[in-house]
Amino acid sequence: MSVNSTSADPTSVRRRAVRGRAAALGALALAGSLLATVPARADGTGGSPSAAPSAGSTPTGDGAQAVCKRLPKTEQRVTKALARLNGDASVAGSVARLQQRADNAKAAGHTEIEKLLNDRLTARKGLLTTLQTRQSDLGPVATWCAAHDQGKSR
């Protein structure tokens, strides 16, 4: 009888099933042991002494240099977002456009859609307020960065 015989001997079928289960359990055990070591290395206890600081460490500075470096792009993004939100009903993403859609849903009697759009409108108006506050905060930050060598001096 050859090794690749097509006859189904009950004993050999049972042996293959047992081997398959044993292999699956072995793989599961190996995966479990590998996963068990990952948290130990993630918190620095199982890694080298030069590993990255743990999440519990405190910052040593205020990040002023990084804030000053990102300031021009931040100002551009905030200005662009405010222009979009304050646009008229023809501007995608504007408060006026979403208000028009909510009004259209109400006129059509689609109460569920109207509720969804009004909830989105509330969130978008909140975003508008947040961005206006952020824009007003960026002016003094730009002045500070200019006066302190882009955050390099204290």
Domain containing residue 136 = 64-151
Same domain, 75 and 146: yes
Q: Is residue 2 part of a domain?
A: no
Residues 128, 69: one domain?
A: yes
Amino acid at 9: D
In a domain, 47, yes or no: no
Q: Are residues 36 and 108 in the same domain?
A: no
For 121, the token pair is 């409108």
Q: In which band, very low, low, confident or very high, does the pLDDT at 34 lie, cut at 50, 70 and 90?
A: low
**What would the pLDDT profile of 38-79 be if each residue is shown by its tens digit?**
555 444 555 555 555 567 788 788 899 999 999 999 999 999
pLDDT-based confidence at residue 104 (cuts at 50, 70, 90): very high
CB 147 within 8 A of CB 141: no
pLDDT at 57: 83
| Residue among 125, 120, 92, 90 nearest 105 (CA) | 120
Q: Are 70 and 38 in the same domain? A: no
The answer on 72 and 30 residing in a single domain is: no
50 domain-assigned: no
Does the residue 101 lie in any domain? yes
Residues 15 and 72 in one domain: no
For residues 9 and 136, the model is more confident at 136
- What total number of domains does the chain contain? 2
The answer to whether residue 3 sits within a structural domain is: no
Measured at the CA of 153, the angle between CA 148 and CA 154, to 5 degrees, comes to 90
How far is Cα 137 from Cα 59, in angstroms, rounded to an integer? 23
Mean pLDDT, residues 71-95 taken together = 97
What is the predicted pLDDT for the residue at 6? 53
Residue 51 lies in a domain: no
The one-letter code for the residue type at 125 is K
Q: Quote the CA–CA distance of 46 and 44 in Å, as a whole number.
A: 6
| 59 falls within a domain | no
- Confidence band of 19 (pLDDT split at 50, 70, 90): confident
